[in-house]
């Protein structure tokens, strides 16, 4: 193993902390928090242990006309959602980018898939929890 990728994991932690802060300010209901935690874990799984199976499934799906049509419809829907909810989409784009960067740095440092999964999930969930806990602390409450 080479050097531990502190910088990319710190960026991942900061991205999840700011997203957590955004969710609290938006007064997101509990179901949104459950979806965010699920998204965080599924994203870590897809980038580490399930990546090869996901790639094979996607490749098999795109061999048919139905697969391409579905991809176009989902892509158009995704672009529409991104334009309507631009701020939220920006946060998700930063989360995905930070997690991909951290995964690549972990891979270059010689970590295996399970170690990478553990570290990505740990730093992501710790970032979400830290953002929530910081908001609950009266020191960090600002009046607007």
pLDDT digits (tens, 9 = 90+) for 14-29: 999 999 988 888 888 8
Average pLDDT over residues 89-115: 91
Rounded CA gap, 96 and 113, in Å?
18
Residue 102 lies in a domain: yes
The range of the structural domain enclosing residue 122 comes to 6-134
DSSP labels for 95-112?
A: HHHHHHHHHHHHHHTT--
- Whether the predicted model's global pTM rises above the 0.85 cut: no
Residue 139 lies in a domain: no
134 has pLDDT over 80: yes
What confidence score (pLDDT) does residue 124 get?
A: 95
Residue 129 lies in a domain: yes
* Pair 106, 120: CB distance under 8 Å: yes
Residue 57 lies in a domain: yes
Residue 144 lies in a domain: no
142 has pLDDT over 70: no
Residue 1 lies in a domain: no
């Amino acid at each position: 193993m080479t050097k531990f990728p502190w910088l990319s994991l710190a960026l991942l932690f900061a991205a999840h902390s700011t997203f957590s802060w955004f969710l609290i300010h938006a007064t997101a209901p509990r179901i949104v928090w459950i979806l965010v935690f699920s998204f965080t874990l599924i994203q870590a799984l897809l980038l580490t242990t399930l990546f090869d199976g996901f790639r094979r499934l996607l490749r098999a799906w795109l061999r048919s006309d139905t697969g391409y049509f579905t991809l176009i419809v989902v892509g158009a829907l995704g672009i529409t959602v991104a334009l309507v909810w631009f701020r939220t989409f920006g946060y998700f784009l930063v989360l995905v980018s930070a997690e991909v960067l951290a995964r690549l740095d972990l891979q270059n440092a010689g970590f295996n898939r399970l170690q990478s999964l553990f570290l990505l999930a740990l730093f992501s969930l710790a970032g979400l929890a830290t953002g929530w806990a910081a908001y609950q602390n009266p020191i960090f409450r600002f009046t607007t």
